[in-house]
Amino acid sequence: MTDLASGLTGQTIFVTGSSRGTGVAIARTLASHGARVVLHFSASPDKARTLASELGEACAGMVQADFATPGAAPQAWREATRIAGGRLNGLVVNHGIFDASPALEDYDTWRTSWARVLEVDLQSAVDLMREAANAFVDTGTPGALVAVASRAAHRGDDAEHPAYAAAKAGLIATVKTFARAWSGRGLLAYAISPGWIDTEMAPQGKDARARALAEVPLGAMAAPEEIGRLTAFLLSGACPSATGATFDVNGASYVR
């Protein structure tokens, strides 16, 4: 048995945004290394049910939550904990939206779009992280969290998506703060900052895809399985001294 599998076997991990794209890859990878996963979907359960059927006994259950609704995140954590039998070992914050919030629109549109993006991509995420902290810190039952952020947190984004960049920057800052506060008291916290990931959210047209790849020295978008493998490594406990770190997965398109 590998060290990775040894660290994940018997662990139950709540993975948000796990009905499609990167979240599916994360859930599959965790399950393949011995973890049980609690899946999350926002609206339609069909894709989550398909994944749950594929994972079999490695799927502990599913949680429905619309994270645009204030207060949905703590409720989702409580439901995931119930499904897990009263104890979660880890959290992967992977959900998010990429809605436009252009500064040159009228003020009301600007405020509305910012409020929605920040609620989903930041507030609900840190609400979940707070729940994890309360479950793991000084309780005798330690755990870990991984937050999937974005390259945009470091370099900014295009003119249409300032709220997205701001939310992801706030997410990373919260990971760092939690790690500094509680890494010695039961909570390990990590962030991953991907560039383009080859999912349905990436540019699909030939020209748009070519423009996206033109800024990636590696010449390829990251496969969602890469995020899954890195997440599994971090949650396995193989490198606890990396707590507080942010891991770039962007093909050298942004090097800090």
> How far is Cα 142 from Cα 232, in angstroms, rounded to an integer?
17
> How far is Cα 175 from Cα 19, in angstroms, rounded to an integer?
24
Residue 61 Rama label (left phi>0; alpha psi -120 to 50; beta)? left
One of 107, 164, 190, 254 is an active-site residue; which one? 164
Burial of residue 88, with CB atoms counted within 10 A of its CB: 0-12 exposed, 13-18 middle, 19 or more buried: buried
Give the amino acid at 70.
Answer: P
Q: How many CB atoms lie within 10 A of CB 158?
A: 11
> How far is Cα 227 from Cα 93, in angstroms, rounded to an integer?
12
- Residue 164 a catalytic site member: yes
> How far is Cα 202 from Cα 206, in angstroms, rounded to an integer?
11
> How far is Cα 137 from Cα 84, in angstroms, rounded to an integer?
19
Per the CB < 8 A criterion, the answer to whether 90 and 11 are in contact is yes
- First-to-last alpha carbon distance for the chain, in angstroms, is 35
Catalytic residues: 164
